[in-house]
Amino acid sequence: MAEKPKRPLSAYMLWLNDNREQIKRDNPGIKVTEVAKRGGELWRALKDKSKWEAKAVEAKDKYTKLVKEYEANGGGKDSGKKRGSKQTRKAPTKKSKKQADSEDDDEEEESD
């Protein structure tokens, strides 16, 4: 069975992917985190985002179609598990020194 389709990129991420290299050229030696930060600033300042928003809508439509095909071919069926029903084990809790001492005292009294 094929893997579930990946979620589509947002308009911002599509724009950033196309403009990342230009941001790096304009800011030599910039760190990856700073590229994203600068990209965010440029995106917010961008007046006409319609081109990227249209691409995002197109990607979303394609994704929706792929998900429907995936589900029609048996993908995404529950395999006996319900979402959010994971069993979790609780980690053992640490006892405070006072609790440990009082338990030691209880054990001594029982053995007497």
Looking at residue 48, the DSSP 8-state letter turns out to be -
Residue at 49 is within a domain: yes
Let me know the angle formed at the C-alpha of 38 by 34 and 39, rounded to the nearest 5 degrees: 115
pLDDT in tens, 74-84: 887 764 445 55
**CATH number, position 53:** 1.10.30.10
> What is the C-alpha to C-alpha distance for residues 38 and 1, in angstroms, rounded to an integer?
41
Assessment of whether the complete model's pTM goes beyond 0.75: no
The answer to whether residue 89 sits within a structural domain is: no
96 occurs within a structural domain: no
Identify the CA nearest to 62 among candidates 4, 12, 5, 15: 5
Answer yes or no: is 80 within a domain.
no
Q: Is residue 10 part of a domain?
A: yes
Query: What is the total count of domains within the chain?
Result: 1
pLDDT value of position 2: 76
CA separation for the pair 24, 41 (Å, rounded): 14
Residue 87 domain flag: no
pLDDT at residue 16, rounded to an integer: 96
Per-residue model confidence as pLDDT tens digits over 6-35 = 999 999 999 999 999 999 999 999 999 999
pLDDT digits (tens, 9 = 90+) for 39-52: 999 999 999 999 99
pLDDT over threshold 70, residue 101: no
Domain that holds residue 13: 1-75
Q: Which residue has the higher pLDDT, 69 or 75?
A: 69
